[in-house]
């Protein structure tokens, strides 16, 4: 079980309101990702749920029980920190066993659980090493191991992959997703990387300045963003925004078209000159200078367009997003 | 320092410092060893005849030798105990966010700036004196006969005075070590269900072990040669109750004008310091590795 409910939760540091009243429902077994630009309050929100920060107002319910004033350990949640926060003077085994030791479990029980966790996470071969002797990915696994031995109600991840290199990050992403599929435990994951959010989440919570901009499944957010911020944040490369007269044609203050929804051809709606074309093999990203500004286009891998070429762009009207003056989707 | 030439240049550059340091150590040591084998008393002019191990024999059979040795170890051990335990507790206290933190920290460091003779005299006359001291006054307030610290418990009194002087040093080093502890580790331990005491013993104390090692090693070096505090308070007395090895060497070489005997005592003190150092390195030196 791991159902978490936030009701009117606020957080103030002195006079600064970091999180205005916020409601959020996290269901049992869900993989929820908090995503937003840095400083949007997503880590603070996670720490409020963990109990490492006190809420300034509102209530946090875990499995229907009011946990607002409970200490972190009582909440039955486990956290993986950005710096992993392994205990440097303890071996991998002792690190993983630490929460069990604090729970005063018997030695035999601890050993069994630690060995099981080590096997699940492929840690067995360096179980007696110190954290200082491990690579980044291995440390990450130890941190996850320390979290799973307690069989918590939910896992909290605070940007766990940001200290890893790109290749390892993709691997760990898969491993965490697999872990979620096997454990079926609620996971809350904080990241500023929308790719991580899109690939892992059942439900994405997009935050900006402490406010929830939109909650939904990755594809919901991709297909129908509620506002300009979500539209620009979700999707890579970023959505193109065009305002002015061109937008007025579509009865909007501003229109947004994703790079993958623009066709390149010898004729079309907008004429432009290619400034940069990035050939990735599977795709080609074109940066096209048009009268409406710079437009990013994602074309097929075999498009033979180069710097300086003149091209015509046609947006797919069925995939076009329209926004009003306040940035809300129409 | 990658190439052969730069390594050679490096050695050349540091050689003056190394040579001066080496001479600084070897000349006094050599002369002390030389004097310790002579029959050399300032009151008896004339030849300084070679005396063999006579001086050492006198020193070891001196009735004050074993008490002085034990006093030295008690003094060092007592001060180390008070300063490391007290230093850790004070560091924990000073690490808490509080009003006037900067001023409090300066106040804590203050005893370290007071020179040993002055602080010992202040303690002797203004605190521990049964007539004028504040402790005597306090005892009178409560209707208890005042306690004459320096004649009733001379060694303990000196341990207290020296511990007061060295507490700031220990506190400062341990405080900086405590501040370098990653707060996420403490938070992780909190999530793992560790209470304040478990967090202290499982996370903070292991983190402080290296700094505590530095404190103990450095203090031991200085505490083995405590002298000024004894000279201005008890003069090693009553009897030999507060005489340590340094003071014994002083009383034999200068009070009795016997350079040979004093030198022999000095060499014994050097050997003792080395034995203590070896034990310390064995016990806690591994904390400095890795």
Tell whether the torsion through CA atoms of B236, B240, B241 and B247 is positive or negative. positive
Q: What is the pLDDT of residues A263-307, one digit of tens each?
A: 888 888 888 899 988 888 888 899 999 988 899 999 887 777 888
Q: Is residue B8 part of a domain?
A: no
Return all residues near A265 (Cβ < 8 A) that are at least 6 apart: A311, A312, A314
A200 and A257 belong to one structural domain: no
Question: In 3D, which of A323, A140, A155, A149 has the Cα closest to residue A240?
Answer: A323
> Are A111 and A251 within one domain?
no
Residue A21, both tokens? 């009243």
A67 near A120, Cβ under 8 Å?
A: no
**A71 part of a folded domain:** yes
CATH of the domain at B80: 1.10.3720.10
Q: How confident is the model at residue A187 (pLDDT cuts 50, 70, 90)?
A: very high
Q: In this complex, do A85 and B182 lie within 8 Å of one another by their Cβ atoms?
A: yes
Q: How confident is the model at residue A2 (pLDDT cuts 50, 70, 90)?
A: confident
Q: Which residue of A has its CA nearest to B207?
A: A89
Number of neighbours of residue B252 by Cβ within 10 angstroms: 24
Q: Which of A176, A206, A231 is the last residue of a domain?
A: A231
Q: Is the pLDDT of residue B258 over 60?
A: yes
A237: preceding bond cis by omega (within 30 degrees): yes
- Strand A154-158 to strand A186-191: parallel, antiparallel, or no bridges (unpaired)? parallel
* Same domain, residue pair A137 and A100: yes
Work out the average pLDDT over A125-148: 89
User: Is residue A330 situated within a structural domain?
Assistant: no
Cβ separation of A87 and B185 shorter than 8 Å? yes
Asked if residue B30 belongs to a domain, the reply is: no
Number of Cβ atoms within 10 Å of the Cβ of A69 = 11
Beta-ladder partners of A9? A22
- Per the listing, tokens 């006198």 go with B58
Tokens of A24: 């959020």
CB contact under 8 A, B207 and A73: no
Q: How far apart are CA A118 and CA A101, in angstroms?
A: 16
Q: Are residues A24 and A161 in the same domain?
A: yes
Residues of A in contact with B193 (CB under 8 A): 73, 99, 102-103
Contact between B190 and A81 (Cβ < 8 Å): no
Residue A176 included in any domain: yes
DSSP letter assigned to residue B3: S
CA distance B200 to chain A (A): 13
Interface of A with B in 126-155 (CB under 8 A): 132, 146, 150
The C-alpha atoms of residue B215 and residue B213 are separated, in whole angstroms, by 5
Mutate to test the interface with A, among B181, B183, B188, B205 (most CBs of A within 10 A): B188
B33: in domain: no
Indicate the number of domains in chain B: 1
* Total number of domains in chain A: 2
pLDDT at B169 over 60: yes
CA A210 – CA A44 distance, rounded (Å): 9
Do B189 and A87 count as a contact with CB atoms less than 8 A apart? yes
C-alpha distance across the termini of chain B, in Å: 22
CB A41 within 8 A of CB A19: yes
Cβ–Cβ gap A89/B290 under 8 Å: no
pLDDT tens digit sequence for B215-253: 988 898 888 888 888 888 888 778 888 888 888 888 887
What one-character-per-residue DSSP string does A150-189 give? T--SEEEEESTTTTS-HHHHHHHHHHHHHHHHHH--EEEE
Q: Measure the CA–CA gap between B24 and A99, rounded to whole angstroms.
A: 55
The tokens for A41 are 């309050």
Whether B265 is covered by a domain: the verdict is no
DSSP secondary-structure letter at B106?
A: H
CB–CB of B192 and A82 under 8 A? Answer: no
* pLDDT reported for residue A30: 92
Q: What is the pLDDT of residue B269?
A: 86
Examine residue A135 and state whether it is found in any structural domain, yes or no.
yes
Q: What is the pLDDT of residues A66-108, one digit of tens each?
A: 888 888 888 888 999 888 889 988 999 999 999 998 888 899 9
Task: With a cut of 80, say whether residue A32 has pLDDT above it.
Answer: yes
The residue-averaged pLDDT of B165-190 equals 90
Q: Is the pLDDT of residue B95 over 60?
A: yes
φ, ψ for residue A225, nearest 5 deg = -65, 140
Containing domain of residue B171, as a range?
65-242
CA–CA distance, B71 with B243 (Å, rounded to integer): 7
Q: Does the residue B142 lie in any domain? A: yes
CA distance B210 to A89: 11
CATH for A252: 2.40.50.140
Give a yes or no: residue A328 inside a domain: no
How many Cβ atoms from other residues are within 10 Å of residue B154's Cβ? 24
Same domain flag for A173 and A224: yes
Q: What is the pLDDT of residue B239?
A: 80
Query: What is chain B's mean pLDDT, rounded?
Result: 86
What confidence category does residue B26 fall into, taking pLDDT thresholds of 50, 70 and 90? very high
Residues A79 and A140 in one domain: yes
Structural domain of residue A101, as residue ranges? 4-231
pLDDT of residue A74: 86
CA distance B227 to A78: 56
User: A99 vs B193: CB contact, 8 Å cut-off?
Assistant: yes
The answer to whether residues A128 and A259 belong to one domain is no
Is residue B289 scored above 70 in pLDDT? no
Tokens of A56: 């300034």
B191 to A102: CB separation less than 8 angstroms, yes or no = no
Residue B247 belongs to a domain: no
Question: Helix (H) and strand (E) counts for chain A?
Answer: 9, 18
Chain A interface, best mutation among B181, B189, B193, by max A CB count within 10 A: B193
A184 belongs to a structural domain: yes
Above 0.95 for ipTM, yes or no? no
On whether both A193 and A54 belong to a single domain, the answer is: yes
In a shared domain, residues A15 and A105: yes
Dist. CA B133–CA A256, nearest whole Å: 84
Residue B13 pLDDT level (bands cut at 50, 70, 90): very high
The verdict on residue B277 lying in a domain is no
Q: Which residues pair with A283 in a beta bridge?
A: A300
Place B1 in a pLDDT band, splitting at 50, 70 and 90: low
Q: Which residue of A has its CA nearest to B182?
A: A85
* A112 and A260 assigned to the same domain: no
| Spatial distance between the Cα atoms of B61 and B68, rounded to a whole number of angstroms | 12
| Residue B140 scores a pLDDT above 60 | yes
Q: A217 and A97 in one domain?
A: yes
Which among A231, A258, A289 is the end of a domain? A231
Domain presence at residue A137: yes
Q: Which helix (H) or strand (E) holds A297?
A: strand A293-300
In a domain, B131, yes or no: yes
Task: Report chain A residues whose CB lies below 8 A from the CB of B189.
Answer: 87, 98
Q: Which residues of A touch B198 (CB under 8 A)?
A: 102
Radius of gyration of chain A (CA): 23
Q: What is the CATH number of the domain that holds A109?
A: 3.40.50.300
Helical residues (DSSP H) of chain B, grouped into ranges: 4-36, 54-61, 65-95, 101-109, 116-122, 134-141, 149-152, 154-179, 183-191, 196-199, 205-223, 228-233, 245-250, 259-284
Task: Say which residue, A68 or B146, is predicted with more confidence.
Answer: A68
The CA distance from A197 to A201, in Å, is 6
Among A183, A215, A231, where does a domain finish? A231
Pair A193, A303 in one domain? no
């Amino acid at each position: 079980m791991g159902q978490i409910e936030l009701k009117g939760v606020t957080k103030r540091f002195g006079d600064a309101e970091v999180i205005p009243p916020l409601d959020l429902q996290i269901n049992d077994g869900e993989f929820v990702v908090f995503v937003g630009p840095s400083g949007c309050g997503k880590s603070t929100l996670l720490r409020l749920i963990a109990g490492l920060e006190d809420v300034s107002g509102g209530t946090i319910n875990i499995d229907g029980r009011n946990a607002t004033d409970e200490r972190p350990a009582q909440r039955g949640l486990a956290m993986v920190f950005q710096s992993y926060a392994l205990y440097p003077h303890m071996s991998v085994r002792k690190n993983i066993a630490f929460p069990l030791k604090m729970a005063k479990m018997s030695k035999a029980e601890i050993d069994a659980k630690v060995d099981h966790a080590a096997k699940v996470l492929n840690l067995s071969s360096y179980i007696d090493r110190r954290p200082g002797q491990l690579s980044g990915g291995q440390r990450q696994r130890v941190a996850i191991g320390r979290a799973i031995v307690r069989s918590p109600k939910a896992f909290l991840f605070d940007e766990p992959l940001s200290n890893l290199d790109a290749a390892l990050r993709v691997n760990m992403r898969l491993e965490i997703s697999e872990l979620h599929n096997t454990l079926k435990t609620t996971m809350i994951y904080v990241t500023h990387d929308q790719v991580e959010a899109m690939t892992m989440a059942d439900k994405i919570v997009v935050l900006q300045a402490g406010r929830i901009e939109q909650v939904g499944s990755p594809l919901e957010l991709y297909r129908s963003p509620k506002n300009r911020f979500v539209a620009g944040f979700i999707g890579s490369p970023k959505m193109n925004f065009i305002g002015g007269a061109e937008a007025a044609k579509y009865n909007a203050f501003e229109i947004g078209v994703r790079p993958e929804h623009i066709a390149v051809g010898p004729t079309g709606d907008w004429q432009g000159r290619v400034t940069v074309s990035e050939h990735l093999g599977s795709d080609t990203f074109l940066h096209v200078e048009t009268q409406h500004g710079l437009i990013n286009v994602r074309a097929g891998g075999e498009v033979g367009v180069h710097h300086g070429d003149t091209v015509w762009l046609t947006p797919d009207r069925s995939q076009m997003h329209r926004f009003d003056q306040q940035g809300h989707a129409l | 320092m990658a190439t052969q030439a730069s390594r050679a240049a490096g050695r050349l550059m540091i050689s003056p410092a190394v040579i001066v340091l080496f001479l600084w150590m070897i000349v006094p040591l050599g002369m002390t060893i030389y004097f310790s084998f002579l029959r050399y008393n300032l009151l008896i002019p004339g030849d300084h005849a070679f005396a063999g191990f006579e001086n050492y024999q006198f020193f070891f059979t001196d009735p004050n030798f074993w008490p002085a040795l034990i006093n030295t170890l008690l003094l060092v051990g007592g001060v180390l105990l008070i300063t490391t335990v007290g230093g850790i507790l004070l560091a924990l206290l000073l690490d808490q966010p509080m009003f006037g933190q900067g001023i409090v920290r300066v106040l804590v460091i203050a005893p370290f700036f007071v020179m040993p003779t002055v602080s010992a005299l202040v303690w002797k006359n203004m605190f521990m004196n049964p007539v004028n001291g504040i402790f005597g006054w306090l005892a009178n307030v409560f209707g208890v006969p005042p306690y004459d610290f320096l004649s009733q418990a001379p060694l303990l009194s000196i341990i207290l005075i020296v511990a007061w002087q060295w507490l700031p040093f220990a506190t400062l080093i341990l405080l900086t070590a405590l501040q370098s502890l990653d707060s996420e580790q403490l938070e992780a331990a909190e999530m793992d269900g560790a209470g304040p005491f478990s967090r202290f013993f499982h996370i903070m104390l292991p983190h402080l072990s290296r700094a505590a090692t530095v404190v103990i090693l450095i203090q031991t070096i200085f505490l083995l040669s405590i002298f000024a505090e004894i000279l201005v308070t008890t003069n090693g007395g009553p009897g030999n109750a507060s005489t340590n090895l340094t003071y014994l060497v002083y009383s034999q070489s200068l009070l009795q004008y016997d350079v040979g005997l004093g030198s022999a005592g000095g060499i014994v003190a050097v050997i003792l310091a080395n034995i203590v150092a070896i034990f310390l390195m064995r016990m806690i030196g591994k904390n400095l590795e890795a």
